[in-house]
Amino acid sequence: MTLSLRPIAEAEWSGWMTVEEEAFGAPILPHRAELYLGVTEFDRSLGVFDGDLLVGCTAVCSFTMTVPGGPIPVGGVTAVGVLPSHRRRGVLSSLMTRQLSDLHERGEAVAALYASEAAIYGRYGYGRAADSLVFRIPTAKAAFTRHAPVDPGLRLRIVRPAEARATFEKIHDSALDERPGLYARTSGRWDSVLSDHEADQGGAGPLRAVVVEDDHGARGYALFRIRPSWTEDDVFDGELRLKELFGLDPAAYALLWRHLLDRDLVSHVTAQNRPSDDPLIHLLAEPRMLHARWLDELWIRVVDVERALPARRYSAPVDVVIDVEDDVCPWNARRWRLTADTSAARCVPCDDPADLAMPVSVLGAAYLGGRPLAALLAAGVVRESRAGALRELSTAMSWDAAPWGGTIF
């Protein structure tokens, strides 16, 4: 039967849920489906149909995301799935190609996603732009270095998450400009972050929160759960599971972590998604006690080279001709001259000899400023025709702080 592709209607939501459950192999509980429905943009949600049967889907969330230099519109790609019965028929390729074309037509020069499998999205031009760390910290060995900042004017306040939502929103909004990859949260996103259904708790009890503040207002917050436990010898063995933590200055940040690590009856603190340059690395006297694991986080796709590269700022002057290889978005596949200083940038098509040749995924990997390019040259992914051109581009695209999206969408 012939397959067709089109945006889905809200009346087709149950079919969408079926595809998601089958593709990811897990049930979507009713309260999660309701939260998901609240952030779905149906005009940006594509489905592939086999007759009347929905067999594949993908969606885009309209985000404002921080990139080096400030916020830009970004298409947040999510809910990519194909029924197992319809794999190897080109369903995914048709969805991803159409989606990128739609993004281009809407004028969104950059797309972002979290990958369920890292091997999938490089085929469609996405590059690994951000990394995250997973911590498992034994509280008995979590002393801070003597250089940890202390502000005697700060104090902690235990709050109910649902009642302190406005405080969380204000702090999160204040943190956005500091880190590429963070995106502004809609009301629906906050509903999801603060959801406290029994199924969200995972055996770790209700969502808890603490705010750090001074006389001028809140300076940070942490959201977490605690799973109480005792050993056979009746020794406490509780686990504190950090959901998120934002501190607007070093002393507030340090005080929040100190509070979490000092909670009574907790033997270890786990954090599933922390930035790769998390300051906690430098606060612990023994950083090996982080027991850190390294994972990929945000993946970025440069949808429109001509608009995306001037939309961000650069850390150093650069003047290079880049031969971009792009099999999915043909409007990108040519040579481009990027000229920039620390205040402005310009990217125009040209016929000059290329200094560098690279797949478009490399530009995506470097776009948020956290991916040095030398290793990609050593791996043969990038080819350099003018000596020093890669270092020039890599230096210009670098940025502090390290990119990090913080919350899977």
Structure tokens that stand for 121 in this block: 């999205």
Which two tokens mark 339? 């000229």
* Residue 69 neighbours by CB distance under 10 Å: 19
Single-letter code of the amino acid located at 158: I
| CB neighbour class for 121 (10 Å; exposed up to 12, middle 13-18, buried from 19) | buried
Element (H, E) at 296: strand 293-296
Q: Is 22 annotated as a binding residue?
A: no
Q: Is 307 annotated as a binding residue?
A: no
The answer to whether residue 409 is catalytic is yes
Neighbours of 299 (CB within 10 A): 26
- Ordered DSSP codes for 30-99: HHHHHHHHHT--GGGEEEEEETTEEEEEEEEEEEEEEETTEEEEEEEEEEEEE-GGGTTSSHHHHHHHHH
The strand ranges marked E within 207-291 are 208-214, 217-227, 238-247, 266-275
Query: Among residues 63, 121, 221, 314, which one is catalytic?
Result: 121
**Does the annotation list 150 as a binding residue?**
no
Tokens of 33: 């489906």
Annotated binding residue 20: no
The answer to whether 88 is annotated as binding is: yes
Phi, psi of 80 (to 5 degrees): -85, 120
Closest CA to 243 of 192, 293, 281, 167: 192
Say how many C-beta atoms besides its own lie within 10 A of residue 291's C-beta: 12
Binding site annotation covers 117?
A: yes
Which residues make Cβ contacts (< 8 Å) with residue 78, sequence separation at least 6?
58, 59, 60, 61, 113, 114, 409
Q: Residue 298 is inside which H or E element, if any?
A: strand 298-302
Length in residues, the chain: 409
Which among 49, 221, 367, 409 is annotated as catalytic?
409
Instruction: Dig out the tokens for 185 from the structure.
Output: 């949260």
* Cβ–Cβ < 8 Å for 259, 265: no
CB within 8 Å of 171: residues ≥ 6 apart? 218, 219, 220, 221, 246, 248
Decide the pairing of beta strands 266-275 and 238-247: parallel
* Residue 320 annotated as part of some ligand binding site: no
Whether 81 has a binding-site annotation, put simply, is: yes
Query: Is 92 labelled as part of a ligand binding site?
Result: yes
Binding site members for acetyl-CoA: 80-82, 88-93, 116-117
> Any idea which residues carry the catalytic annotation?
121, 409
Binding site members: 80-82, 88-93, 116-117
